[in-house]
A and B are shown apart, each in its own frame.
Chain A
Amino acid sequence: MADRNQQQEVVMSLDEQNPETVKADLLRRYPIKIARKRSKQIVVNKVGACDDVPQISSNVRTIPGLIGQRGCCYAGCKGVVLGPTRDIINITHGPIGCGFYSWLTRRNQTDPDSSEDKHNFIPYCFSTDMQDEEIIFGGERKLRKAIQEAYDNFKPKAIAVFATCPVGLIGDDIHSVCREMKEKLGINVFGFSCEGYKGVSQSAGHHIANNQIFKHVVGLDDTVREGEYKVNLLGEYNIGGDAFEIDRIFKKCGISIVSTYSGNSSIDDFSNSHTADLNLIMCHRSINYVAEMMDKKYGIPWIKINFIGAEATAKSLRKIAGYFNDQKLIDRVEQVIAEELPEVKKAYLEIRPRTEGKKVMLFVGGSRAHHYQELFNELGMKILSAGYEFAHRDDYEGRKVIPSIKVDADSRNIEELEVTPDPGKYSPRKSPEEMNALENQGIKFSDYEGMMPAMKDGTLIIDDISQFETDAMIEIFKPDIFCAGIKEKYSVQKHGIPLKQLHSYDYGGPYAGFKGAINFYKEIDRMVNSKVWGYIKAPWEKNPELTATYAWG
């Protein structure tokens, strides 16, 4: 008891600084009202009993005038979730910019040869390019023609329509246009009301995308494919070929992927995805809705897995094998791990002396700030601070806090689908007893423990970090590497600190799985130990007195 009290009095320290003081420093420049709001989004971590962590305010609107990194609802819907699917023609209904900026800007890879028709529309950007006339008189007519044209030119299996901000305001009914064109063309045509002003970030768009895919696509094709241990891989977008590496490992283990949401995906796989026996969630934030709905409607359980980090990959594979509870798979998985791990270990043991103790910050996305900590831990690096751009409290604190999350006006506007068991197709993959037994073995269903419980006490957790705070954190801690995206890249590097892009991977990757881990170690080694940083100061800046002596000497 005495011990505990003592512990509480100890002032937490973060890289020899008091994190509370640092926090106060970050808030100093804001007007009081805003400082108060931001102070709930900047939290000093403390992991208590039962993995309890302090509450963090998240998924709240960014304050006008604070330059942040978030995108809009449309970006989350069209850009993130639907973008990587190669055989749906995506039409952006709106003025030109929104479509243009989401044209091939994410590095999702796809393999068109894996579908029969070899369709690949990812390199195309279709936009109704609204003009004055449509803003004034409405754009439905133009949209109808655009759908017709896309069909005439490409004969796709499906066309999806995405609404941008002005569309909602001028009152175009994209859904009725879609229904009408679906009837007329005889292919699947569906719309997304993902106007950019909805919700507070791209997160709203993920939800809308999940809903519509579930409503319009999932369950359309009941063909049960061949293969054992059938899973869906959810929330894996195949940036830099991550999904290909996971595929490789799964193939080796004998695990069959029915569909991936949505890296390297085809609409046919989505239609068929309700035939899988387990859903695996990579990015919890962007896709948990589909998993939950599939569970309710078809009886497919989901588990959280993580293929970023060699140890995490091994652990995830064991979880999957545990679920199927078949000795053949269990043995196979162990064999694969035994084959793959030694090389990974060799790589990090070789690199570790050069990375050990170096300081890292990660501010990215809705899951990567958590997942990538695994790889940094493997390199012996120290994580000082982390945060998400658009995640919710459950991604920080764990799903156990969901009942206590207050639903604000912004979230209430996003539809929650009412899902009930499908009368014909609902079939629980495991009996309640089996589920219980598995839970007892440590497999947690429908659960994600969140990022904060995995982080050290005293680390700073910052939600929706602003550019201003980013600069301040760098000045205060001088980290050895900063992980974020292209928008932060060059400002961070101006400080003389390398930035690793965890959205686009700086044109590298894959980083998932075993081979990916090795790629990542090498990349981080190259970045933190690059000679470039040593040249920043010119000799006369390093030693002004010396130069002066020479000059006069």
Chain B
Amino acid sequence: MKSMIEQRSAKEYTATKNACKLCAPLGASLVFKGIEGAIPLLHGSQGCSTYIRRYLISHFKEPVDIACSNFAEETAIFGGGMNLKIALQNIHQQYDPSLVGIATTCLSETIGDDVPMFLREYAEQHRNEKTAPLVHVSTPSYQGTHMQGFHNAVLATVKSVTTTGNFSNIGHVNIFPGMVSPADLRYLKEILTDFQIPYMMLPDYSKTLDGSIWSEYQLIPEGGTTVEMIRCSGNAAGSLEFGRILSREKQSAGKWLREKFHVDCHHLGLPIGINETDRFFQVLEILSGRPTPDKYREERGRLIDSYVDGHKHMIAAKVALYGEEDLVVGMAAFFSEIGIQPVLCASGDHSGYLKEEIARLFPSDLDQSIRVMDNADFMDIESAVQDIKPDLIVGNSKGFAMARRLGIPMVRIGFPIHDRVDASRKLHLGYRGTQQLFDRIANKLIEYRQASSTVGYTYM
């Protein structure tokens, strides 16, 4: 049978029905939440920041403070400079932040506010006061999704904070993990620490968005990448940047640091599955000059062992997969190792590279047919799923309604997961994350077969 990799730029419809993407300032806010002492500020009317806070909060189940410049009707007509400056002043006074990350909404973008100029004016007017670094990122949602907002905010932060100079901590590594879970970030830090590699990870919301109960009141939740570390990212020994799709984009923080500061950048896929994780560990061995610690050799060993033992439950299972493009590519890579067919790979993003990246994983001599859809909404996805009848749906909570209608079991990964309690603690990356994904998927398939079996077997 011929491989059928079919690009379905799903635009049979004009309107988007049940979107499979969120808007750009959400991604940017998430990045700013991962910087120590930082406050995100949306430049526009308050609805956007309230909605975005609400969405982030219901996923992370943690406080998420995002300020806003609160446009009024006349602000929308005359421009938001005044509002932005008042907002900045109030934020400084209340929170004494170490950085303010300013992202624009569609409103301030549509009226064409000159934010860099406002920021220069603000800095000028407050020359004699302590002012935090002000990072501006342009995030019109009519040009990109939350992923663009996320990556652009990482880039903007690095660009505006990095300085030249002599730093004592030479030899550290920059790591740009992309939009992953707090548990993933924590695990990455553990790995780097075990390799004894000093690092600058941007963003790092592992603690700010998955913190413990407070023993004393915190104005801004503790944790996050320090501004100091970001400042010296131009002095790093190298950068690691996750995301096959991101690596093909013209711009990224890693690329910028290479061009500007000659910091070598390793572009890797999201380390999900054995292959991509092996690559990641190889790079770490090179960067650290150390062998992979036993702990991870053992994790890898256990993972392979479970692949061998549990393989039979997965083989030839058909999965419909959706989410951010890089997550989809990462998951598909993992599926390719254990014989799962990702019969549908869909995303609301549209970088234009998704099809090629999936094709790379499933070369044409393979006996399967995969539908790749970018720019898709859940209407498109559902009609494809209805067609293909997969055994399992893998993606964020937004696919639940479809899974329920069609009676197909579902495993939740990525963002948003607002109908489970452990979104922040879900692990996707590395040997350990892959192990969890493997277990969850295998168990879900077994559970479904068990429940729908007429025999009701209890032992295997």
Contacts and interface: CB of A to CB of B under 8 A. Distances in A.
Contact of B141 (A63, A65, A95, A105): A95
A74 interface: yes
Interface in A86-120: 91, 94-103, 105
A75 B47 CA distance: 7
Contacts of B110: 135, 165-166, 169-170
A65 B41 contact: yes
B52 A135 contact: no
B386 interface: no
Contacts of A170: 110
A145 B15 CA distance: 8
Interface stretch (B68-76, B248-256, B302-310, B388-396): B68-76
A126 B16 CA distance: 6
A127 B53 CA distance: 21
Contacts of A100: 19, 21-23
For B44, B71, B90, B93, which residue has the most chain A Cβ atoms within 10 angstroms?
B90
A165 B76 contact: yes
Interface in B16-34: 16-19, 21-26
Contacts of A486: 54, 57-58
B143 A127 contact: no
Contacts of A494: 63, 211, 213-214, 218, 221
B362 to A, nearest CB: 30
B83 interface: yes
Given A146-B14, A490-B63, A29 B21 contact: no
B43 to A, nearest CB: 9
A142 interface: yes
B72 A75 contact: no
Interface stretch (A177-185, A312-320, A415-423, A467-475): A467-475
A493 B60 CA distance: 14
A98 B51 contact: yes
A537 interface: yes
A68 B45 CA distance: 12
Interface string B31-65: 00000000001001111101111110110111101
Nearest to B145: A96
Contacts of B72: 61, 197, 200, 409-410
A115 to B, nearest CB: 20
A350 interface: no
Interface in A131-182: 131-132, 134-135, 142, 145-146, 149-150, 164-166, 168-170
Contacts of A131: 142-143
Nearest to B416: A100
B215 interface: yes
Interface string B202-226: 0000000001011101110100000
Contact of A166 (B18, B62, B107): B107
Contact of B105 (A31, A132, A165, A200): A165
Interface residues of A, number: 79
Nearest to A541: B215
A64 B54 contact: no
Interface in A271-305: none
A101 B52 contact: yes
B14 A489 contact: no
B184 to A, nearest CB: 20
A399 B65 CA distance: 34
A67 B89 contact: no
A65 to B, nearest CB: 3
A71 interface: yes
A129 interface: yes
Contacts of A127: 15-17, 19
A62 B19 contact: no
Contacts of B111: 169
A166 B67 CA distance: 20
B287 interface: no
A234 interface: no
Nearest to A73: B47
Contacts of A134: 142
Contact of B65 (A64, A72, A130, A467): A467
A529 to B, nearest CB: 18
A142 B16 CA distance: 11
A482 B122 CA distance: 37
A97 B23 contact: yes
Contacts of A74: 47
Contacts of B105: 165
Interface of B: 13-19, 21-26, 41, 44-48, 50-55, 57-58, 60-63, 65-76, 83-84, 86-91, 93-95, 105-107, 110-111, 140-143, 145, 211, 213-215, 217-219, 221, 401
List the 5 shortest-distance A-B pairs measured between CB atoms, nearest first. Answer: A72-B47, A97-B23, A65-B90, A491-B63, A65-B87
Interface of A: 29-31, 34, 61-75, 91, 94-103, 105, 123-132, 134-135, 142, 145-146, 149-150, 164-166, 168-170, 195-198, 200-201, 409-410, 413, 467-468, 471, 475, 486-487, 489-491, 493-496, 536-537, 541
17 contacts: A66-B67, A71-B47, A95-B140, A97-B23, A97-B52, A98-B23, A98-B51, A126-B15, A128-B14, A131-B143, A170-B110, A196-B46, A197-B45, A197-B76, A486-B57, A536-B215, A541-B215
Given A100-B21, A196-B107, 8 more contacts: A30-B90, A74-B47, A97-B24, A100-B23, A125-B17, A409-B73, A413-B73, A475-B217
